[in-house]
């Protein structure tokens, strides 16, 4: 009850509501622009949160995530191009509905299902996060070391593509994290005498470089969409009979969204496709799927919006982000010196309360803002690509400069962009690298602290039961993933023979 | 992309990672020891990471060689792969051009200032993305530069590059 009063107080005593709405608007716009994913939209905003109050900054970022998940469905429905990866499943029936002259209805279903998914995800976030985070109170430095290794192993195994590439990306990320002053001895490492590197390479620079700049480089020289969105579409929210029909696919979407959100490396796109398939299987009108089924829009949209909240559960409890967007939010927390885990709930309860309240405000405001902002989104989607690319690039460079007011950071971000571009070309996943940079200091710190406690005896990692358990699970993930890869390689060989 | 082309890329990627691991190892060995250091030392984790990366990179190279050796030697396929590989260079060069524009901003913005720097950046990206130089492009870029200055400098109060040129002119 006390928390409820404090939440209400936050609404009137802090700029939480404007921050939630601003984040939502920014998220919908960013999500609606094809090629700008939810994580990129958040990464573009990240530098500007530096000077903000921590609670407001986190509300802004989480609302952006919520908005981007809905925004991605706008071009998916109107021009058959998903604005974000997680909106790819929405294209199938959303665009068919648009072809049948029901674009407004499809957008309305997407918006309504997004709100339902966000509310369910938010409820789970509130209920599950704090109890889970209490587990972390039992953790010793050796357990934290195990947790860091587990996080990186799971992400490397599940973030798509080859396990070896995932592990290589994670190792490179860990290497980047070693740049700067050694926290124990004070010795400079890999700074090449440059004062700008003494403090290390901030994860935010890596994130903006890998996510935003590499995307600009990928899109360089590509032609625009070639199709334009109709500017006269108006959102039509579903009426009661339709709401009842959508309840089942939305429930399916929420279940798959919860599962995928909790699983590191899952993400909105897998959840959306899983929800689409399950909704079709359980539907009383399966024949309508692929031909403009409202259920085919509702299930994936409910799923990816649920993920936007549930992926924050492992992040806030243990500091393990399950998706790119959650990794950017982790960057936002770290910028303000907020370390996920039980102490975050004890020492910065206002930030957590603000995050929950702000997310609720953003979710409820989504209906009105979604309707009002649609014309602006369609106008932006129809702008020529060279102009959009120019302004996104300008936003990246000015945002990065605000952090330390140094051109050196811009150079680092451009270098990160080139590395990200090369990683994309060679199908190396980003998330392990980002996680390596973010978790690097924790892994090294807990490893060295453990050895200090044990007098240099590595047996401490076996004697600590939690740590050992986490390391065993990490090893299982790697072995299973490797076995699967070998099996798939054999299958491919057999089929080509 | 064909399996052969993909494996070639993987192989090159693996070799680059091996070079990175070797360079990182060499730099790690030159990290000075400190009397304040613990048993692991400031170079402990870096050396471990370099060795692990070398192992993973070697496995990537080995896997790519294995895939290449298993690839079906069809003449047409190899011709297509060669063409694919040649075409692959164009987007890389285009992307590098984009980076050069960013470096240009780093050099020019401190001289001309934030607003003009942003306007020039938008024009440069527009031209690079094959938009014709027109009054519209210049006007949009100028409006963008002013808008960015209004939002980031005046409204948000963030630090942005100041014009040394303007400072010189006003001094003079």
ipTM of the complex as predicted:
0.88
Assign A256 a pLDDT band (cuts: 50, 70, 90): very high
Average pLDDT over residues B96-105: 94
Contact B42 A182 (CB under 8 A): yes
Query: Do A305 and A87 meet the contact criterion of CB atoms below 8 Å apart?
Result: no
Average pLDDT over residues A52-70: 92
Contact B92 A425 (CB under 8 A): yes
- On average, the pLDDT of chain A sits at 86
Q: Does A486 touch chain B (CB under 8 A)?
A: no
Q: What percent of chain A has pLDDT over 90?
A: 34
Query: Shortest CA distance to B103 belongs to which of A494, A463, A259, A213?
Result: A213
Higher pLDDT, B56 or B167: B56
Q: Does A3 touch chain B (CB under 8 A)?
A: no
Nearest to B56 among A164, A189, A422 (CB): A164
Shortest distance between the Cα of B23 and any Cα of chain A, in A, equals 11
* A266 DSSP 8-state letter: -
Interface of A with B in 35-64 (CB under 8 A): 48, 51
Q: How far is CA B169 from CA A134, A141, B172, in A?
A: 61, 59, 5
Q: Does B42 touch chain A (CB under 8 A)?
A: yes
What's the predicted TM-score (pTM) here?
A: 0.81
Higher pLDDT, B53 or A208: B53
Q: Does B132 touch chain A (CB under 8 A)?
A: no
Residue A225, pLDDT > 80, answer no
Contact B101 A174 (CB under 8 A): no
pLDDT single digits (tens) A204-220: 888 889 888 998 898 88
Give the integer Cα–Cα distance in Å for B155 and B157.
6
Assign A229 a pLDDT band (cuts: 50, 70, 90): low
Give the residue from chain B lying closest to A184, CA to CA: B37
pLDDT single digits (tens) A297-337: 999 999 999 998 998 988 888 888 877 888 889 888 988 88
Give the integer Cα–Cα distance in Å for B127 and A412.
25
Assign A54 a pLDDT band (cuts: 50, 70, 90): very high
Position A483 scores a pLDDT of 85
Higher pLDDT, A433 or B167: A433
Assign A80 a pLDDT band (cuts: 50, 70, 90): confident
Q: Hey, of B20, B38, B102, B105, which one would you mutate to test binding to chain A, going by the most A CBs within 10 A of its CB?
A: B102
Q: Which residues in chain A have their CB less than 8 angstroms from residue B131's CB?
A: 384, 386-387
Q: Does A175 touch chain B (CB under 8 A)?
A: yes
Q: Does B5 touch chain A (CB under 8 A)?
A: no
- On average, the pLDDT of chain B sits at 85
Assign A411 a pLDDT band (cuts: 50, 70, 90): very high
| Range picked from A71-75, A125-129, B135-139 for highest mean pLDDT | B135-139
Beta bridge pairs of residue A180:
A189
What count of CB pairs under 8 Å joins A to B? Answer: 180
Phi and psi torsions of A240, nearest 5° = -55, -50
CB atoms near residue B29 (< 10 Å) = 11
């Amino acid at each position: 009850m006390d928390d409820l009063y404090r939440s209400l107080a936050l609404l009137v005593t802090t700029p939480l509501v404007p921050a939630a709405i601003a984040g939502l608007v920014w998220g919908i716009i960013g999500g609606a622009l094809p090629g700008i994913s939810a994580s990129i939209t958040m990464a573009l905003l990240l530098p500007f949160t530096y000077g903000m109050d921590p609670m407001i900054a986190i509300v802004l970022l989480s609302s952006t995530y919520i908005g981007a998940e809905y925004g991605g469905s706008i071009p998916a429905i109107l021009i058959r191009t998903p604005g974000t990866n997680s909106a790819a499943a929405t294209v199938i029936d959303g665009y068919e509905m648009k072809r049948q002259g029901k674009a407004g209805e499809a957008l309305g279903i997407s918006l309504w299902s997004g709100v339902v998914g966000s509310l369910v995800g938010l409820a789970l976030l509130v209920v599950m996060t704090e109890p889970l985070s209490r587990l972390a109170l039992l953790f010793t430095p050796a357990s934290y070391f195990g947790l860091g290794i587990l996080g990186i192993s799971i992400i490397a195994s599940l973030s798509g593509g080859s396990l070896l590439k995932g592990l290589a990306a994670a190792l490179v990320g860990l290497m980047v994290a070693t740049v700067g002053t050694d926290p124990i001895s004070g010795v400079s490492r890999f700074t090449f005498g440059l004062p700008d590197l003494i403090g290390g390479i901030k994860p935010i620079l890596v994130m903006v470089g890998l996510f935003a700049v590499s995307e600009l480089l990928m899109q360089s020289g590509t032609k625009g969409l070639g199709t334009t969105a109709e500017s006269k579409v108006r959102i039509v929210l579903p009426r009661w009979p339709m709401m009842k029909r959508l309840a089942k696919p939305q429930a399916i979407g929420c279940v798959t969204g919860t599962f995928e959100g909790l699983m590191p490396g899952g993400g909105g796109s897998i959840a959306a496709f899983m929800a689409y398939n399950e909704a079709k299987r359980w539907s009383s009108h399966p024949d309508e799927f692929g031909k403009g089924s409202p259920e085919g829009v509702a299930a994936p949209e409910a799923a990816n919006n649920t993920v936007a909240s549930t992926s924050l559960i492992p992040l806030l409890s243990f500091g393990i982000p399950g998706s790119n967007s959650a990794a950017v939010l982790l960057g936002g927390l770290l910028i303000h010196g907020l370390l996920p885990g039980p102490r975050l709930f004890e020492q910065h309860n206002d930030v957590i309360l603000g995050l929950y309240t702000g997310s609720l405000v953003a979710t409820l405001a989504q209906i009105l803002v979604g309707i009002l902002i649609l014309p602006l989104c369609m106008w932006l989607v129809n702008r020529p690509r060279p102009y959009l690319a120019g302004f996104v690039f300008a936003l990246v460079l000015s945002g990065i400069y605000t952090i330390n007011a140094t051109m050196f950071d811009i150079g680092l971000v451009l270098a990160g962009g080139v590395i990200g571009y090369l990683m994309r070309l060679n199908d190396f996943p980003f998330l392990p690298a980002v996680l390596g940079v973010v978790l690097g200091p924790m892994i090294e710190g807990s490893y060295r602290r453990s050895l200090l406690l044990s007098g240099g005896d590595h047996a401490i990692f076996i004697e600590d039961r939690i740590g050992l358990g986490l390391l065993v699970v990490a090893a299982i993930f790697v072995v299973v993933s490797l076995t699967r890869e070998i099996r798939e390689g054999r299958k491919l060989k057999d089929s080509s023979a | 992309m064909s399996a052969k082309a993909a494996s070639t890329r993987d192989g090159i990627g693996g070799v680059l990672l091996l070079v990175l691991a070797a360079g990182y190892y060499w730099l790690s060995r030159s990290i000075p020891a400190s009397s304040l250091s613990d048993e692991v030392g400031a170079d402990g984790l870096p050396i471990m990471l370099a060795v692990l990366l070398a192992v993973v990179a070697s496995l990537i190279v080995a896997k790519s060689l294995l895939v290449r050796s298993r690839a079906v030697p069809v003449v047409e396929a190899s011709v297509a792969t060669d063409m694919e590989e040649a075409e692959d260079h164009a987007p890389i060069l285009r992307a590098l051009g984009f980076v050069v524009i960013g470096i240009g901003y780093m050099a020019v913005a401190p001289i001309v200032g934030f607003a003009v720097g942003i306007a020039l950046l938008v024009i440069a990206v527009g031209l690079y993305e094959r938009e014709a130089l027109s009054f519209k492009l210049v006007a949009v870029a100028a409006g963008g530069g002013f808008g960015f200055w209004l939002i980031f400098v005046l409204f948000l109060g963030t630090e942005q590059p100041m014009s040394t040129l303007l400072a010189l002119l006003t001094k003079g």
